[in-house]
Amino acid sequence: MTKGPKTRIGAWLARPLASFHLVVTIATMLTVLGLVMVLSASSVEQYVSGGSAYSLFTQQLIFAILGAVLFYVALRIPARVLRQYSFPLFVVVLIMLVLVLIPGIGTEAQGARRWFNVGGFSVQPSEIMKVALAIWGAHLLASRRPDDRSVKSILIPLVPAAMLVFALVVAQPNLSTTIALGIIVGALLWFGGLPLKLFGSIALTGVVGAAVLAMTAGYRSDRVQAFFNKSDDLQGNNYQAKQALYSLADGGFFGRGLGQSVAKWNYLPNAHNDFIFAIIGEELGFVGCAVVIGLFAVFVYTGLRIAARSIDPFWRLLSATATTWIVGQAMINIGYVIGLLPVTGLQLPLVSAGGSSLAITLFMFGVIANAARHEPEAVAALNSGQDGKISKLLRLPKPVLYHPPSGGRPIRRPKPARQIEPARGRDGRRAIETGDRRKRADQGARPSSDSNRGAAAGSRKRTAGGQNGQRRQAPTRRAQDPREVRERGIRR
Protein backbone atom coordinates (compact mmCIF):
# COMPACT_ATOMS: atom_id res chain seq x y z
CA MET A 1 0.00 0.00 0.00
CA THR A 2 2.85 2.39 0.69
CA LYS A 3 4.80 1.72 -2.51
CA GLY A 4 2.21 3.33 -4.79
CA PRO A 5 2.40 6.94 -3.54
CA LYS A 6 6.18 6.77 -3.18
CA THR A 7 6.46 5.49 -6.72
CA ARG A 8 4.18 8.23 -8.04
CA ILE A 9 6.05 10.92 -6.13
CA GLY A 10 9.38 9.57 -7.33
CA ALA A 11 8.12 9.45 -10.91
CA TRP A 12 6.93 13.04 -10.66
CA LEU A 13 10.24 14.20 -9.16
CA ALA A 14 12.08 12.44 -11.99
CA ARG A 15 10.49 14.77 -14.53
CA PRO A 16 12.91 17.27 -16.09
CA LEU A 17 10.98 20.37 -14.91
CA ALA A 18 9.99 19.12 -11.45
CA SER A 19 12.40 21.49 -9.66
CA PHE A 20 11.10 24.48 -11.61
CA HIS A 21 7.49 23.68 -10.80
CA LEU A 22 8.32 23.19 -7.11
CA VAL A 23 10.00 26.60 -6.85
CA VAL A 24 7.09 28.37 -8.54
CA THR A 25 4.54 26.57 -6.37
CA ILE A 26 6.35 27.29 -3.10
CA ALA A 27 6.81 30.97 -3.95
CA THR A 28 3.13 31.32 -4.86
CA MET A 29 1.84 29.57 -1.74
CA LEU A 30 4.05 31.51 0.67
CA THR A 31 3.22 34.85 -0.97
CA VAL A 32 -0.54 34.23 -0.87
CA LEU A 33 -0.34 33.03 2.73
CA GLY A 34 1.66 36.12 3.64
CA LEU A 35 -0.88 38.49 2.07
CA VAL A 36 -3.74 36.85 3.94
CA MET A 37 -1.92 36.88 7.27
CA VAL A 38 -0.72 40.49 6.87
CA LEU A 39 -4.31 41.56 6.29
CA SER A 40 -5.48 39.63 9.35
CA ALA A 41 -2.66 40.77 11.65
CA SER A 42 -2.54 44.45 10.66
CA SER A 43 -6.18 45.37 10.16
CA VAL A 44 -6.90 46.19 13.82
CA GLU A 45 -3.78 48.29 14.36
CA GLN A 46 -4.27 50.19 11.10
CA TYR A 47 -7.92 50.91 11.91
CA VAL A 48 -7.15 52.07 15.44
CA SER A 49 -4.43 54.41 14.18
CA GLY A 50 -7.08 56.30 12.20
CA GLY A 51 -6.50 54.84 8.78
CA SER A 52 -8.07 52.15 6.67
CA ALA A 53 -7.91 48.57 7.85
CA TYR A 54 -6.60 47.67 4.39
CA SER A 55 -3.82 50.29 4.14
CA LEU A 56 -0.88 48.03 5.04
CA PHE A 57 -2.38 45.15 3.09
CA THR A 58 -2.69 47.37 0.00
CA GLN A 59 0.96 48.38 0.28
CA GLN A 60 2.00 44.76 0.68
CA LEU A 61 -0.12 43.78 -2.33
CA ILE A 62 1.58 46.43 -4.49
CA PHE A 63 5.00 45.11 -3.55
CA ALA A 64 3.79 41.56 -4.20
CA ILE A 65 2.83 42.58 -7.75
CA LEU A 66 6.21 44.27 -8.14
CA GLY A 67 7.86 41.09 -6.84
CA ALA A 68 5.92 39.00 -9.36
CA VAL A 69 7.27 41.22 -12.14
CA LEU A 70 10.80 40.85 -10.76
CA PHE A 71 10.26 37.07 -10.56
CA TYR A 72 9.38 37.04 -14.27
CA VAL A 73 12.35 39.25 -15.13
CA ALA A 74 14.69 36.95 -13.18
CA LEU A 75 13.37 33.99 -15.18
CA ARG A 76 14.36 35.65 -18.46
CA ILE A 77 17.80 36.97 -17.50
CA PRO A 78 20.61 34.73 -18.80
CA ALA A 79 23.56 33.93 -16.60
CA ARG A 80 25.85 35.95 -18.84
CA VAL A 81 23.94 39.16 -18.11
CA LEU A 82 23.77 38.48 -14.38
CA ARG A 83 27.51 37.96 -14.22
CA GLN A 84 28.28 40.93 -16.43
CA TYR A 85 26.36 43.43 -14.29
CA SER A 86 26.96 41.86 -10.87
CA PHE A 87 29.87 44.11 -9.92
CA PRO A 88 28.27 47.39 -11.16
CA LEU A 89 25.15 46.48 -9.15
CA PHE A 90 27.28 45.81 -6.08
CA VAL A 91 29.01 49.21 -6.42
CA VAL A 92 25.71 51.08 -6.88
CA VAL A 93 24.13 49.48 -3.81
CA LEU A 94 27.32 50.13 -1.83
CA ILE A 95 26.98 53.83 -2.67
CA MET A 96 23.34 53.69 -1.56
CA LEU A 97 24.43 52.27 1.79
CA VAL A 98 26.71 55.27 2.21
CA LEU A 99 24.03 57.78 1.18
CA VAL A 100 21.39 56.37 3.51
CA LEU A 101 23.57 57.28 6.50
CA ILE A 102 23.59 60.98 5.54
CA PRO A 103 20.94 63.04 7.41
CA GLY A 104 18.43 64.53 5.02
CA ILE A 105 18.88 61.74 2.48
CA GLY A 106 18.18 58.64 4.54
CA THR A 107 15.03 58.41 6.65
CA GLU A 108 15.38 57.70 10.36
CA ALA A 109 12.76 55.60 12.16
CA GLN A 110 12.92 53.98 15.60
CA GLY A 111 16.50 55.13 16.09
CA ALA A 112 17.80 53.61 12.82
CA ARG A 113 18.57 55.23 9.48
CA ARG A 114 17.90 52.47 6.95
CA TRP A 115 15.38 53.66 4.35
CA PHE A 116 14.88 55.93 1.36
CA ASN A 117 11.38 57.34 0.95
CA VAL A 118 10.50 57.39 -2.74
CA GLY A 119 7.00 58.40 -3.77
CA GLY A 120 5.45 57.39 -0.47
CA PHE A 121 7.18 53.99 -0.47
CA SER A 122 10.22 53.07 1.57
CA VAL A 123 13.20 51.31 -0.02
CA GLN A 124 15.81 49.59 2.14
CA PRO A 125 19.23 49.41 0.41
CA SER A 126 20.46 46.69 2.76
CA GLU A 127 17.82 44.33 1.35
CA ILE A 128 19.07 44.97 -2.19
CA MET A 129 22.62 44.37 -0.98
CA LYS A 130 21.68 40.77 -0.13
CA VAL A 131 20.99 40.09 -3.80
CA ALA A 132 23.98 42.07 -5.05
CA LEU A 133 26.39 40.31 -2.70
CA ALA A 134 25.05 36.85 -3.52
CA ILE A 135 25.25 37.35 -7.31
CA TRP A 136 28.65 39.06 -7.30
CA GLY A 137 30.11 36.51 -4.86
CA ALA A 138 28.88 33.60 -6.99
CA HIS A 139 30.39 35.27 -10.07
CA LEU A 140 33.75 35.72 -8.33
CA LEU A 141 34.00 32.12 -7.20
CA ALA A 142 32.74 30.74 -10.51
CA SER A 143 35.34 32.77 -12.43
CA ARG A 144 38.29 30.98 -10.83
CA ARG A 145 40.41 28.75 -13.02
CA PRO A 146 39.68 25.04 -12.56
CA ASP A 147 43.26 24.40 -11.44
CA ASP A 148 43.27 27.32 -8.94
CA ARG A 149 42.11 25.95 -5.58
CA SER A 150 44.09 28.33 -3.39
CA VAL A 151 42.53 29.88 -0.31
CA LYS A 152 43.49 33.34 -1.52
CA SER A 153 41.34 33.04 -4.63
CA ILE A 154 38.33 32.23 -2.42
CA LEU A 155 38.77 34.91 0.23
CA ILE A 156 39.97 37.86 -1.87
CA PRO A 157 38.28 40.15 -2.81
CA LEU A 158 35.04 38.67 -1.45
CA VAL A 159 35.78 38.85 2.28
CA PRO A 160 37.26 42.40 2.34
CA ALA A 161 34.29 43.73 0.36
CA ALA A 162 31.87 41.91 2.68
CA MET A 163 33.56 43.43 5.74
CA LEU A 164 33.01 46.91 4.28
CA VAL A 165 29.33 46.10 3.72
CA PHE A 166 29.01 44.80 7.29
CA ALA A 167 30.47 48.03 8.67
CA LEU A 168 28.02 50.20 6.70
CA VAL A 169 24.99 48.12 7.74
CA VAL A 170 26.02 48.04 11.42
CA ALA A 171 26.37 51.84 11.32
CA GLN A 172 22.64 52.21 10.54
CA PRO A 173 22.34 50.25 13.00
CA ASN A 174 20.88 46.99 11.65
CA LEU A 175 22.29 43.85 13.24
CA SER A 176 19.58 41.57 11.86
CA THR A 177 20.45 42.37 8.23
CA THR A 178 24.14 42.03 9.10
CA ILE A 179 23.42 38.48 10.27
CA ALA A 180 21.59 37.73 7.00
CA LEU A 181 24.54 39.09 5.00
CA GLY A 182 26.86 36.95 7.12
CA ILE A 183 24.80 33.88 6.20
CA ILE A 184 25.21 34.75 2.51
CA VAL A 185 28.99 35.14 2.80
CA GLY A 186 29.27 31.94 4.83
CA ALA A 187 27.27 30.01 2.22
CA LEU A 188 29.48 31.35 -0.58
CA LEU A 189 32.63 30.31 1.25
CA TRP A 190 31.24 26.87 2.13
CA PHE A 191 29.95 25.99 -1.33
CA GLY A 192 33.00 27.67 -2.88
CA GLY A 193 35.24 25.01 -1.37
CA LEU A 194 36.88 26.74 1.59
CA PRO A 195 38.73 24.24 3.82
CA LEU A 196 36.73 23.07 6.81
CA LYS A 197 39.14 24.28 9.48
CA LEU A 198 39.41 27.76 8.01
CA PHE A 199 35.65 27.92 7.49
CA GLY A 200 35.08 26.95 11.12
CA SER A 201 37.50 29.64 12.29
CA ILE A 202 35.75 32.31 10.20
CA ALA A 203 32.31 31.15 11.37
CA LEU A 204 33.40 31.24 15.02
CA THR A 205 34.83 34.72 14.53
CA GLY A 206 31.54 35.85 13.02
CA VAL A 207 29.52 34.47 15.93
CA VAL A 208 31.80 36.17 18.43
CA GLY A 209 31.58 39.42 16.49
CA ALA A 210 27.78 39.27 16.42
CA ALA A 211 27.72 38.60 20.18
CA VAL A 212 29.96 41.59 20.83
CA LEU A 213 27.77 43.83 18.67
CA ALA A 214 24.68 42.52 20.45
CA MET A 215 26.09 43.46 23.84
CA THR A 216 27.39 46.91 22.88
CA ALA A 217 24.14 48.71 21.92
CA GLY A 218 21.54 49.27 24.62
CA TYR A 219 18.45 47.84 22.93
CA ARG A 220 20.34 44.81 21.60
CA SER A 221 21.86 44.13 25.00
CA ASP A 222 18.42 44.26 26.58
CA ARG A 223 17.15 41.62 24.15
CA VAL A 224 20.03 39.26 24.93
CA GLN A 225 19.63 39.69 28.68
CA ALA A 226 15.89 39.16 28.39
CA PHE A 227 16.49 35.91 26.52
CA PHE A 228 18.72 34.50 29.27
CA ASN A 229 16.37 35.76 32.01
CA LYS A 230 12.95 34.90 30.64
CA SER A 231 11.15 35.23 33.96
CA ASP A 232 12.37 38.80 34.56
CA ASP A 233 10.69 41.99 33.37
CA LEU A 234 7.61 40.35 31.88
CA GLN A 235 6.05 43.75 31.24
CA GLY A 236 9.21 45.17 29.63
CA ASN A 237 11.88 43.46 27.58
CA ASN A 238 10.28 40.01 27.84
CA TYR A 239 6.76 41.20 27.08
CA GLN A 240 6.86 40.62 23.31
CA ALA A 241 8.40 37.15 23.55
CA LYS A 242 5.89 36.05 26.23
CA GLN A 243 2.92 37.30 24.21
CA ALA A 244 4.14 35.34 21.22
CA LEU A 245 4.23 32.14 23.27
CA TYR A 246 0.72 32.85 24.61
CA SER A 247 -0.52 33.25 21.03
CA LEU A 248 0.96 29.92 19.98
CA ALA A 249 -0.56 28.24 23.05
CA ASP A 250 -4.02 29.71 22.38
CA GLY A 251 -4.01 28.34 18.83
CA GLY A 252 -3.89 24.72 19.85
CA PHE A 253 -3.86 22.12 17.10
CA PHE A 254 -6.31 23.63 14.59
CA GLY A 255 -6.26 27.29 15.67
CA ARG A 256 -8.93 29.78 16.65
CA GLY A 257 -9.88 30.45 13.05
CA LEU A 258 -8.70 32.84 10.36
CA GLY A 259 -9.08 36.44 11.54
CA GLN A 260 -9.96 35.43 15.13
CA SER A 261 -6.64 36.30 16.77
CA VAL A 262 -6.72 38.03 20.15
CA ALA A 263 -3.05 38.99 20.23
CA LYS A 264 -3.42 41.35 17.27
CA TRP A 265 -5.65 43.61 19.39
CA ASN A 266 -2.53 45.48 20.55
CA TYR A 267 -1.40 42.64 22.82
CA LEU A 268 1.49 41.56 20.57
CA PRO A 269 3.67 44.37 19.14
CA ASN A 270 4.77 43.96 15.50
CA ALA A 271 2.27 41.17 15.01
CA HIS A 272 2.21 41.75 11.25
CA ASN A 273 5.99 41.82 10.85
CA ASP A 274 8.54 40.11 13.11
CA PHE A 275 5.99 37.96 14.99
CA ILE A 276 3.59 37.03 12.23
CA PHE A 277 4.43 33.35 12.80
CA ALA A 278 2.78 33.67 16.23
CA ILE A 279 -0.43 34.94 14.58
CA ILE A 280 -0.31 32.00 12.16
CA GLY A 281 -0.05 29.65 15.14
CA GLU A 282 -2.96 31.34 16.93
CA GLU A 283 -5.34 31.47 13.97
CA LEU A 284 -4.32 28.34 12.05
CA GLY A 285 -2.90 26.32 14.93
CA PHE A 286 -0.20 23.70 14.85
CA VAL A 287 -1.39 22.60 11.41
CA GLY A 288 -0.78 26.05 9.93
CA CYS A 289 2.69 26.28 11.48
CA ALA A 290 3.54 22.80 10.21
CA VAL A 291 2.49 23.79 6.68
CA VAL A 292 4.77 26.85 6.77
CA ILE A 293 7.72 24.85 8.07
CA GLY A 294 6.99 22.09 5.55
CA LEU A 295 7.04 24.55 2.65
CA PHE A 296 10.44 25.83 3.71
CA ALA A 297 11.66 22.24 4.15
CA VAL A 298 10.57 21.38 0.60
CA PHE A 299 12.30 24.55 -0.57
CA VAL A 300 15.55 23.42 1.06
CA TYR A 301 15.33 20.10 -0.76
CA THR A 302 14.49 21.77 -4.07
CA GLY A 303 17.18 24.45 -3.91
CA LEU A 304 19.96 22.04 -2.99
CA ARG A 305 18.73 19.60 -5.63
CA ILE A 306 19.00 22.34 -8.26
CA ALA A 307 22.52 23.15 -7.06
CA ALA A 308 23.54 19.49 -7.20
CA ARG A 309 22.19 19.02 -10.73
CA SER A 310 23.60 22.23 -12.19
CA ILE A 311 26.75 21.86 -14.30
CA ASP A 312 27.27 25.63 -14.53
CA PRO A 313 29.33 26.65 -11.45
CA PHE A 314 27.63 30.06 -11.35
CA TRP A 315 24.11 28.64 -11.17
CA ARG A 316 25.29 26.02 -8.69
CA LEU A 317 26.83 28.55 -6.29
CA LEU A 318 24.03 31.09 -6.64
CA SER A 319 21.15 28.65 -6.11
CA ALA A 320 22.80 27.01 -3.09
CA THR A 321 23.66 30.39 -1.54
CA ALA A 322 20.18 31.86 -2.09
CA THR A 323 18.55 28.75 -0.64
CA THR A 324 20.74 28.88 2.45
CA TRP A 325 20.07 32.59 2.94
CA ILE A 326 16.26 32.37 2.63
CA VAL A 327 15.88 29.25 4.75
CA GLY A 328 18.40 30.45 7.35
CA GLN A 329 16.50 33.72 7.75
CA ALA A 330 13.22 31.81 8.11
CA MET A 331 14.64 29.50 10.76
CA ILE A 332 16.02 32.43 12.77
CA ASN A 333 12.61 34.15 12.68
CA ILE A 334 10.74 31.02 13.74
CA GLY A 335 13.42 30.31 16.36
CA TYR A 336 12.99 33.59 18.24
CA VAL A 337 9.18 33.48 17.95
CA ILE A 338 9.05 30.11 19.72
CA GLY A 339 11.68 31.20 22.26
CA LEU A 340 14.74 29.26 21.07
CA LEU A 341 16.76 32.34 20.02
CA PRO A 342 17.03 35.98 21.10
CA VAL A 343 14.83 38.42 19.20
CA THR A 344 16.80 39.67 16.19
CA GLY A 345 14.20 41.36 13.99
CA LEU A 346 14.72 39.16 10.92
CA GLN A 347 11.49 38.79 8.95
CA LEU A 348 9.83 35.59 7.78
CA PRO A 349 10.54 35.54 4.01
CA LEU A 350 7.50 36.15 1.78
CA VAL A 351 5.17 36.11 4.82
CA SER A 352 6.06 39.05 7.07
CA ALA A 353 5.01 42.58 6.15
CA GLY A 354 7.79 44.47 4.39
CA GLY A 355 7.71 45.67 0.81
CA SER A 356 11.42 45.68 0.01
CA SER A 357 11.99 42.28 1.57
CA LEU A 358 9.03 40.75 -0.28
CA ALA A 359 10.05 42.07 -3.71
CA ILE A 360 13.73 41.13 -3.27
CA THR A 361 12.90 37.63 -2.04
CA LEU A 362 10.57 37.01 -4.98
CA PHE A 363 13.36 38.10 -7.31
CA MET A 364 15.69 35.53 -5.74
CA PHE A 365 13.02 32.84 -6.09
CA GLY A 366 12.93 33.76 -9.78
CA VAL A 367 16.71 33.39 -9.99
CA ILE A 368 16.50 29.93 -8.41
CA ALA A 369 13.71 28.96 -10.83
CA ASN A 370 15.91 30.16 -13.69
CA ALA A 371 18.69 27.91 -12.41
CA ALA A 372 16.21 25.01 -12.35
CA ARG A 373 15.50 25.55 -16.06
CA HIS A 374 19.24 25.23 -16.77
CA GLU A 375 19.56 21.70 -15.42
CA PRO A 376 20.83 19.43 -18.22
CA GLU A 377 17.63 17.36 -18.29
CA ALA A 378 15.49 20.51 -18.28
CA VAL A 379 17.51 22.06 -21.12
CA ALA A 380 17.08 18.92 -23.23
CA ALA A 381 13.36 18.77 -22.50
CA LEU A 382 12.71 22.45 -23.20
CA ASN A 383 14.66 22.41 -26.46
CA SER A 384 12.79 19.31 -27.61
CA GLY A 385 9.40 20.99 -27.19
CA GLN A 386 8.42 19.79 -23.70
CA ASP A 387 7.86 23.30 -22.37
CA GLY A 388 4.99 22.64 -20.01
CA LYS A 389 2.04 24.90 -19.31
CA ILE A 390 3.89 27.46 -17.18
CA SER A 391 6.72 27.98 -19.66
CA LYS A 392 4.30 28.27 -22.57
CA LEU A 393 2.12 30.71 -20.63
CA LEU A 394 5.09 32.90 -19.69
CA ARG A 395 6.74 32.52 -23.13
CA LEU A 396 10.13 31.97 -21.60
CA PRO A 397 13.22 31.71 -23.83
CA LYS A 398 14.87 28.37 -24.43
CA PRO A 399 17.82 27.78 -22.10
CA VAL A 400 21.25 27.01 -23.52
CA LEU A 401 23.33 24.10 -22.25
CA TYR A 402 26.47 25.18 -20.41
CA HIS A 403 29.83 24.16 -21.89
CA PRO A 404 32.88 24.39 -19.61
CA PRO A 405 35.58 26.76 -20.85
CA SER A 406 38.73 25.41 -22.50
CA GLY A 407 41.72 27.70 -22.59
CA GLY A 408 39.65 30.68 -21.60
CA ARG A 409 37.19 30.22 -24.45
CA PRO A 410 34.01 28.17 -24.57
CA ILE A 411 34.10 24.90 -26.43
CA ARG A 412 32.43 25.10 -29.80
CA ARG A 413 31.09 22.08 -31.53
CA PRO A 414 32.49 21.52 -35.03
CA LYS A 415 30.13 22.38 -37.83
CA PRO A 416 28.86 19.38 -39.82
CA ALA A 417 30.42 18.89 -43.24
CA ARG A 418 28.41 20.32 -46.06
CA GLN A 419 26.92 17.58 -48.19
CA ILE A 420 26.54 18.15 -51.91
CA GLU A 421 23.35 16.68 -53.26
CA PRO A 422 24.05 14.39 -56.24
CA ALA A 423 22.67 15.36 -59.60
CA ARG A 424 19.52 13.68 -60.85
CA GLY A 425 18.48 12.35 -64.27
CA ARG A 426 20.25 10.73 -67.23
CA ASP A 427 22.85 13.47 -67.68
CA GLY A 428 23.62 13.35 -63.96
CA ARG A 429 24.26 9.59 -64.01
CA ARG A 430 26.49 10.00 -67.05
CA ALA A 431 28.53 12.70 -65.29
CA ILE A 432 28.90 10.59 -62.14
CA GLU A 433 30.05 7.51 -64.06
CA THR A 434 32.54 9.54 -66.12
CA GLY A 435 33.91 11.13 -62.93
CA ASP A 436 34.32 7.71 -61.25
CA ARG A 437 36.24 6.31 -64.25
CA ARG A 438 38.52 9.36 -64.36
CA LYS A 439 39.20 9.02 -60.62
CA ARG A 440 40.13 5.34 -60.98
CA ALA A 441 42.32 6.14 -63.98
CA ASP A 442 44.13 8.88 -62.02
CA GLN A 443 44.72 6.51 -59.13
CA GLY A 444 46.15 3.89 -61.49
CA ALA A 445 48.39 6.38 -63.24
CA ARG A 446 49.62 7.98 -60.00
CA PRO A 447 52.55 5.97 -58.59
CA SER A 448 52.94 5.44 -54.90
CA SER A 449 55.37 7.38 -52.79
CA ASP A 450 57.82 4.45 -52.64
CA SER A 451 57.79 4.04 -56.40
CA ASN A 452 58.31 7.77 -56.82
CA ARG A 453 61.37 7.66 -54.63
CA GLY A 454 62.70 4.57 -56.49
CA ALA A 455 62.11 6.12 -59.90
CA ALA A 456 63.84 9.30 -58.85
CA ALA A 457 66.86 7.37 -57.52
CA GLY A 458 67.10 5.33 -60.75
CA SER A 459 66.90 8.42 -62.85
CA ARG A 460 69.75 9.99 -60.93
CA LYS A 461 71.87 6.84 -61.37
CA ARG A 462 71.25 6.70 -65.09
CA THR A 463 72.15 10.35 -65.45
CA ALA A 464 75.37 9.89 -63.46
CA GLY A 465 76.31 6.73 -65.48
CA GLY A 466 76.26 8.56 -68.74
CA GLN A 467 73.26 6.79 -70.20
CA ASN A 468 70.79 8.61 -72.42
CA GLY A 469 70.00 11.02 -69.49
CA GLN A 470 66.43 11.44 -70.57
CA ARG A 471 63.69 11.00 -68.00
CA ARG A 472 61.04 8.43 -68.64
CA GLN A 473 57.73 9.96 -69.45
CA ALA A 474 54.61 8.82 -67.67
CA PRO A 475 52.35 6.68 -69.80
CA THR A 476 49.66 8.76 -71.34
CA ARG A 477 46.04 7.82 -70.81
CA ARG A 478 44.27 6.53 -73.90
CA ALA A 479 41.62 8.93 -75.05
CA GLN A 480 38.18 7.49 -74.71
CA ASP A 481 35.61 7.72 -77.40
CA PRO A 482 32.49 9.60 -76.21
CA ARG A 483 30.32 7.11 -78.11
CA GLU A 484 31.89 4.24 -76.16
CA VAL A 485 31.29 6.02 -72.84
CA ARG A 486 27.64 6.52 -73.69
CA GLU A 487 27.14 2.89 -74.71
CA ARG A 488 28.73 1.67 -71.47
CA GLY A 489 26.39 3.94 -69.43
CA ILE A 490 23.35 2.53 -71.29
CA ARG A 491 24.41 -1.07 -70.67
CA ARG A 492 24.78 -0.33 -66.91
Domain ranges of the chain: 8-400
CA dihedral 78, 83, 85, 91 (to 10 degrees): 150
Taking a C-beta distance cutoff of 8 angstroms, is the pair 149, 192 a contact? no
* Cis before 416 (ω within 30): no
Please classify residue 335 by burial: count the beta carbons closer than 10 Å to its beta carbon, then call 0-12 exposed, 13-18 middle and 19+ buried: middle
Query: Is pLDDT larger for residue 106 or for residue 74?
Result: 74
pLDDT at 284: 95
pLDDT at 435: 54
Sorting pLDDT into bands at 50, 70 and 90, what band is 310? Answer: very high
Is the predicted pLDDT of residue 418 greater than 60, yes or no? no
pLDDT at 404: 81
Rg of the chain over all Cα atoms, to the nearest angstrom: 35
Is the predicted pLDDT of residue 490 greater than 50, yes or no? no
Is the predicted pLDDT of residue 470 greater than 70, yes or no? no
Sorting pLDDT into bands at 50, 70 and 90, what band is 481? Answer: low
Please classify residue 256 by burial: count the beta carbons closer than 10 Å to its beta carbon, then call 0-12 exposed, 13-18 middle and 19+ buried: middle
User: Which segments of 283-434 are extended strands (E)?
Assistant: 405-406, 409-410
pLDDT in tens, 246-258: 999 999 999 999 9
Q: Over the chain, what is the mean pLDDT? A: 82
Q: Which amino acid is at 106?
A: G
pLDDT at 385: 81
**Average pLDDT of span 365-380:** 94
Instruction: Give φ, ψ of 171 to 5 degrees.
Output: -70, -15
pLDDT at 162: 95
pLDDT in tens, 78-99: 999 999 999 999 999 999 999 9
pLDDT in tens, 190-200: 999 899 999 99
User: Which segments of 252-367 are extended strands (E)?
Assistant: none
Query: Is pLDDT larger for residue 10 or for residue 372?
Result: 372
